[in-house]
Structure formats: C-alpha cells, structure tokens
Amino acid sequence: MALAIEHLNLAGAALLRPQVAEGGGIDPIHQFALHKVIALPKLFGLDLSISNSTLFMILSALALIGFFWMAGRQNALVPNRLQSLGELATEGLRGLVRSMIGDAGARFFPFVFTLFTFILAMNFVGLVPGAFTATSQLAVTVTLALVSFLTVLVVAFRTNGLRFFTKFWPRGVFWPLALVVMVIELVSFMMRPLTLALRLFGNMLGGHIVLKVFASFVALLLGAGGLLSALSVAPFLGAVALTALEVLVAGLQAFVFAVLTCVYLNDVLHIDHH
C-alpha cells in the first residue's frame, strides 16, 4: 500500500515536470528514457559514460552483495530472519537445479544462482519509487539471454562435440522429412535467446507502463477537484493491486529465466535421452 501511494505521489509530482506527450497527455514511456548520469570520456570511440540503466544495475548488484554478506556474516546455528531468507533462496535454487539437471548440473548452480538473483534484484529495485528498471531495456535482457545461450552452447560442444548436432535429427523419420524437421529444430533452438529476452523485457515494460497510467489518472482526477476527486478512488485501488501484481511478476520472471536456463542446460547435457 505504501509503495503504491509513493508511486502516486511521484506521478503527481511528474505532472509538474515536462513529461507529457506532444498532444498534451501523460507520457508513460518517459520513465524508460536513458540519460547520462556520469559523463566519462570516450575510449577508442566507445562512450564509457554511466547511464541511469547502468547505475541501477550497479546498485542492484551492490544491494545483492550486501544482502548475502549480511545474511551470511554470522553463520549462526540458529539463523536469524535474514540468514534464513538467504539460506532459503540458496537451498531452494540448489534443489531446483539438481531436480532439473541432475547431479551433473551441480557445477552450474553458481551460474544459475547468479542469473536468478541479479535479475530478481534489478526487478525489485525497479519497483522502488524514483528508481529505474534496468530489465525494461531490451539491450539488458538481450545481453542476459545471450550470456545464458552462449553458456549453453559452450557446454553443449564441450560435452558432446559435433555429436551435439544429432540432437536436431529426428530418429526413425524418412530423411526428406527429417531434413525439414531438423531445420525447424535448429531455428527453434537459435530463437531461444530472443524469446528469453522478450519475455523478461515485455513483462517488466508493460507492467510499469500500466502502473504509471493508473497513477497518472489518480493525480489528474485529484488535480481536477470537485466531484472528479472522488472518482480517483477507482484508479488508486487499481494502482495498489497492480503494485502487488508487479512484485509477483518481478519474482516470477526471474524464476522463469532461471528455470529455462536449467531446461536448456539439461537438453545439451542429456542429448541421448531425446
């Protein structure tokens, strides 16, 4: 509730700033605009300046490091709440990796754990009023998806060599039809990073846009005064409900990204089972 109210306060303040579209309406896309926070000189033509997206990725990583440092610094036999939460997250994800990949997947736990917690941190930090949601940028989600996909490819060739390509050849199928199926399977495999990136990007972008619109409705109705002020209750309740939903979506999207990474690793580690 407090988070939703703070979002509404920010939306009201935003009306006093130039965040409107050309037609005079509220621009919900303004919150995703990139701008330089710390200007740095170019190196070999590459702009090294820190944008708001980069800044909040760094803050998310620092928040994540700080959380696990505080959760694990005491290592008490009877854990406190923070330590319990850290252990629950670690052991829960470890169990997920083991159940989906098997004992062979134990070595990939640090990688999957890092992906999950980093995405989760960026999603949650983006819900803080005034913060920037780094996962609402396609460049960020594509990079994360490519890291996952390239890791899967490296594992695939190190584990199977060229035999990895037999994964795409259907057994017991007439060869002309098998060629068609193989092309379809290859295209489907190569599309994995795109679907990973778009799923995370679309969910975070869409949710924040709708929340901004509802919050703007409240601010506009309150600013209109009179009887219209009473109508602001409806979009306010909608904003509260959407804030709760966004918290759920933030956790769910990080979990889905981790689960799909485990599925892809399992596919290339056990190609003989297909």
Cβ count near 87 (within 10 Å): 13
Is 23 domain-assigned? no
Is 210 domain-assigned? yes
The strand pairing partners of 53, in sequence order, are: none
Is 136 domain-assigned? yes
Ramachandran angles phi, psi of 42, nearest 5°: -75, 150
Is 24 domain-assigned? no
Is 113 domain-assigned? yes
Is 42 domain-assigned? no
Is 215 domain-assigned? yes
Q: Report pTM.
A: 0.82
Domain count, the chain: 1
At how many degrees (to 10) do helices 81-101 and 233-269 cross?
50
pLDDT of 8 reads: 36
Q: How far is CA 13 from the centre of its chain?
A: 27
Q: How confident is the model at residue 272 (pLDDT cuts 50, 70, 90)?
A: low
Cβ count near 150 (within 10 Å): 11
Is 167 domain-assigned? yes
More confident residue, 274 or 218: 218
| pLDDT per position as a tens digit, 44-100 | 878 788 888 999 999 999 999 998 888 877 777 767 788 888 888 888 899 999 988
Range of the domain at 79: 2-18+29-37+47-273
